């Protein structure tokens, strides 16, 4: 600030992440976008939240604080799916845990208020975005209020916030109070009933979501929760979303419709800002290096949004279902800037996004009118209107490979293998080039499960689709061998492996399904991979809604939920033991699971 001649900043961006000036980090993006709009921005990265002293470091901001937990929900950053304290935070200096508080946006906002009580506070990022309404909280095992109210903030910017951040900044700069900013798409605010448009969609009230039984409609809180989830899901596309309102006593939490996705030109402009692609110099000691930076630093995001719509994923709530891609020129220019870094060794670690090979709208209708309300593009099978086409992505990968200082371009974002199979024109070419040029020995894919009733709840393709992709992956190489794992294609001196990722204890998976799951994996691979993640009920996802209510909110059909059955309180642990029954530490749990299965008459030995 002294070097720039600033007496005070216009905005202070408070973040639970360390400061890395890279477009993979929301704080860096919003900071650069606000700077480009003419504002003076200071970043307060991982402040000491135990007092307000750090929050006064830059002096009183002229216009306001922008607050985020960082790239990850702080509770997910700090705790495992079994609610145990994590031992490492790969997004913190030295991997140290405890650099961000639990419920970070609430804590940070309280400290901002202590420092400067009347300065506006605007929340953003994944934690605020997915907690913008009342939500089931796995760590409390209860429905919490909107984080807007718990934090006592002025606004939430939800989703991808570039346009909304500038609009809010301009309004504050023009003299509007935070309470007067009620018109910006992609924002949530607190207001009275008089502010609601005539066509507002009223969500069930917080009282209804937390009461045992409503005296008027005799619905349970869980039934109201399902109703609320569906209304929010149906109004998540900018093309046709209505204002949503959730009542708390005499006021409402009001959500304006989402911002429309950035156009390709706008998307390009964000990535043309002067990012340094480096961590801040204060982290340059060996003890303070940020573990996650190695994978992120030379990775390129070419797309936002995803129409895959997996039940356990929050991308649809945060980025939307309508993908927007960058232009080829923009991606190439970013890669060329990367190659000029003294740390660049010739390897681009990823060219992707939520899903690497989804680079644009699924069909003409999605491009003009957004995603269909109740119809998925890929589940239970590809829509007849889907236009799968890998040509543009292949063109981009080929252009990156041709850059003189690039040795290798990897793809480490997820690949939708069902989309590869659906592309009858270019899918095989994509698979061939994928195995030949873009796999660093291992290609990570995510079938997630194998059992039909669980895959149905997950909204994932049937297991035979994964088997078909395995076959295509092996055939994509000129040379194969049967001497190694069957899910391997081998070129001379360089075997290529498919590494499947799975989720255990997901809603829909009972004890028998867990045993069948384990048997399938072993029968089709000969081993059980370590890449198995216990289902983590995080705010905003369909799977979390099912976990809490025990029902599919769209069909209202009952869904079995491991971990919610009072007869088997440790069932989530048992599912993991079934899958990894070969590990000594799981011997007792596996024996208990087997006894329970026999007792329930699930098998005949």
DSSP-assigned letters across all residues of 377-421: SSSSS--TT-----HHHHHHHHHHHTSTT--EE---S---HHHHH
Q: State how far the Cα of 324 lies from the Cα of 520, in Å rounded to an integer.
A: 37
Q: State how far the Cα of 429 lies from the Cα of 451, in Å rounded to an integer.
A: 30
What letter would DSSP give residue 355?
A: S
Residue closest to 553 by CA, chosen among 567, 540, 568? 540
Q: State how far the Cα of 407 lies from the Cα of 345, in Å rounded to an integer.
A: 8
What letter would DSSP give residue 494?
A: E
As given in the structure block, the two tokens for residue 475 are 């055939």
Bridge partner list, 187: 157
Confidence (pLDDT) at 86: 96
Query: Count of alpha carbons within 13 Å of 24, Cβ hemisphere only?
Result: 26
Fold of 11-181: Rossmann fold (3.40.50)
Given a contact cutoff of 8 angstroms between Cβ atoms, the answer to whether 371 and 308 are in contact is no
Query: What's the Cα-to-Cα distance from 169 to each of 16, 110, 270, rounded to whole Å?
Result: 21, 21, 17
What letter would DSSP give residue 346?
A: S
Q: Provide the b/e sequence for 303-331 (b: ≥16 CB within 10 Å).
A: bbbbbbbbbbbbbbbbbbbbbbbbbeebb
Residue closest to 383 by CA, chosen among 392, 372, 369? 372
Confidence (pLDDT) at 499: 84
How many degrees, rounded to 5, is the angle at CA 195 between CA 191 and CA 201?
A: 95
Query: What's the Cα-to-Cα distance from 210 to each of 128, 201, 268, 299, rounded to whole Å?
Result: 21, 20, 44, 43
**415, exposed or middle or buried, with CB in 10 Å at 0-12, 13-18, 19+?**
buried
As given in the structure block, the two tokens for residue 249 are 């006593």
Write out 304-315 in H/E/C secondary structure.
Answer: ECCCCCCCCCCH
Q: State how far the Cα of 187 lies from the Cα of 124, in Å rounded to an integer.
A: 9
What are the structural domain ranges in the chain? 11-181, 196-260, 298-440, 444-605
Q: State how far the Cα of 270 lies from the Cα of 262, in Å rounded to an integer.
A: 10
Averaged over successive runs of 10 residues, the pLDDT of the chain (605 residues) comes to: 94 97 96 98 97 97 98 96 95 95 98 97 97 98 98 97 97 97 98 96 97 68 97 93 96 97 96 94 91 91 95 92 96 96 94 93 92 92 95 97 96 92 95 90 89 97 94 71 42 68 96 95 76 93 98 97 93 94 92 90 46
Confidence (pLDDT) at 480: 43
Q: State how far the Cα of 382 lies from the Cα of 418, in Å rounded to an integer.
A: 8
Confidence (pLDDT) at 442: 81
As given in the structure block, the two tokens for residue 579 are 């899958």
What letter would DSSP give residue 551?
A: B
Given a contact cutoff of 8 angstroms between Cβ atoms, the answer to whether 485 and 447 are in contact is no
Residue 327 DSSP SS3: coil
Q: State how far the Cα of 359 lies from the Cα of 327, in Å rounded to an integer.
A: 10
* In CATH, 298-440 is 3.30.750.210: yes
CB atoms within 10 A of CB 242: 15
Q: Which residue has the tokens 């530490």?
A: 585
Q: State how far the Cα of 359 lies from the Cα of 367, in Å rounded to an integer.
A: 12
Largest CA distance in the chain: 80
* Beta-strand relationship, 347-348 and 324-325: unpaired
How remote is the C-alpha of 268 from its chain's centroid? 21
Given a contact cutoff of 8 angstroms between Cβ atoms, the answer to whether 276 and 292 are in contact is no
Does 11-181 match 298-440 in CATH topology?
Answer: no
Beta-carbon contacts of residue 593 (< 8 Å; ≥ 6 apart)? 511, 514, 515, 574, 575, 577, 578
Q: State how far the Cα of 153 lies from the Cα of 372, in Å rounded to an integer.
A: 33
Q: Provide the b/e sequence for 136-146 (b: ≥16 CB within 10 Å).
A: bbbeeeebbbb
Query: What's the Cα-to-Cα distance from 516 to each of 2, 123, 200, 453, 573, rounded to whole Å?
Result: 65, 44, 47, 12, 16
Q: Which residue has the tokens 């984080």?
A: 147
What letter would DSSP give residue 203?
A: P
User: Which architecture, in CATH terms, is 444-605?
Assistant: 2-Layer Sandwich (3.30)
CA 266, 267, 273, 279: dihedral to nearest 10 degrees? 150
Confidence (pLDDT) at 475: 85
Q: State how far the Cα of 247 lies from the Cα of 441, in Å rounded to an integer.
A: 53
Q: State how far the Cα of 488 lies from the Cα of 498, in Å rounded to an integer.
A: 6
């Amino acid at each position: 600030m002294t070097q720039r001649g600033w007496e005070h900043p216009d905005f202070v961006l408070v973040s639970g992440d360390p400061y890395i000036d890279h477009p993979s980090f929301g704080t860096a993006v919003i900071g650069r976008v606000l700077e480009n709009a003419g504002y003076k921005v200071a970043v307060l990265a991982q402040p000491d939240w135990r007092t307000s002293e750090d929050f006064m470091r830059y002096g009183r901001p002229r216009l306001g604080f922008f607050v985020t937990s960082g790239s990850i929900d702080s509770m997910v950053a700090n705790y495992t799916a079994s609610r145990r304290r994590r031992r490492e935070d790969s997004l913190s200096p030295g991997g140290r845990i405890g650099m961000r508080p639990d419920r970070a946006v609430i804590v940070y906002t309280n400290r901002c208020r202590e420092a400067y009580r009347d300065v506006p506070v605007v929340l953003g990022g994944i934690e605020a975005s997915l907690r913008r309404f009342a939500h089931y909280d796995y760590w409390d095992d209860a429905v919490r209020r909107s984080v807007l109210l718990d934090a006592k903030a002025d606004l939430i910017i939800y989703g991808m916030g570039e346009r909304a951040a500038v609009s809010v900044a301009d309004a504050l700069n023009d003299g509007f109070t935070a309470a007067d900013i009620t018109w910006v798409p992609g924002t949530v605010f607190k207001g009275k009933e008089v502010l609601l448009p005539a066509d507002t969609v009223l969500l069930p009230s917080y009282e209804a979501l937390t009461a045992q039984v409503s005296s008027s409609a005799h619905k349970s809180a869980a039934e109201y929760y399902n109703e609320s989830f569906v209304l929010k899901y149906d109004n998540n596309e900018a093309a046709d979303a209505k204002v949503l309102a959730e009542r708390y006593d005499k006021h409402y939490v009001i959500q304006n419709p989402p911002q429309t996705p950035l156009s390709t030109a706008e998307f390009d402009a964000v990535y043309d800002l002067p990012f340094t692609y480096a961590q801040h110099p204060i982290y340059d000691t060996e003890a303070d290096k940020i573990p996650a930076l190695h994978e992120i630093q030379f990775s390129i995001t070419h797309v936002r949004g995803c129409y895959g719509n997996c039940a356990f994923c929050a991308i649809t709530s945060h980025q939307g279902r309508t993908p927007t891609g960058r232009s080829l020129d923009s991606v190439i220019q970013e890669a060329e800037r990367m190659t000029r870094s003294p740390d660049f060794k010739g390897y681009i670690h990823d060219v992707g996004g939520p899903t690497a090979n989804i680079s644009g709208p699924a069909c003409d209708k999605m491009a003009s009118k957004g995603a269909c309300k109740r119809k998925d593009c890929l589940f239970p099978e590809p829509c007849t209107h889907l236009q799968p086409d890998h040509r543009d992505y292949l063109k981009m990968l080929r252009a990156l490979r041709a850059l003189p200082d690039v040795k290798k371009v990897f793809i480490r974002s997820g690949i939708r293998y069902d989309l590869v199979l659906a592309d009858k024109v270019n899918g095989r070419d994509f698979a061939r080039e994928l195995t030949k040029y873009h796999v660093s020995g291992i290609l990570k894919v995510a079938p997630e499960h194998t059992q039909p009733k669980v895959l149905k709840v997950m909204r994932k393709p049937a297991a035979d689709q994964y088997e078909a992709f395995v076959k295509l992956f092996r055939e994509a190489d000129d040379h194969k061998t049967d001497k190694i794992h069957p899910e391997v294609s081998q070129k001379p001196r360089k075997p290529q492996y498919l590494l499947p990722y799975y989720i255990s204890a997901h809603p829909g998976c009972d004890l028998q399904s867990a045993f069948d799951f384990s048997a399938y994996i072993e029968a089709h691979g000969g081993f059980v991979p370590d890449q198995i993640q216990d289902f983590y009920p995080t705010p905003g996802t369909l799977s979390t809604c099912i976990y809490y209510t025990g029902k599919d909110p769209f069909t209202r059909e009952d869904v079995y939920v491991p971990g919610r059955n009072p007869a088997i309180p440790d069932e989530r642990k048992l599912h993991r033991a079934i899958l990894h029954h070969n590990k000594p530490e799981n011997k007792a749990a596996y024996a208990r699971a087997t006894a329970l299965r026999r007792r329930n008459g699930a098998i005949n030995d």
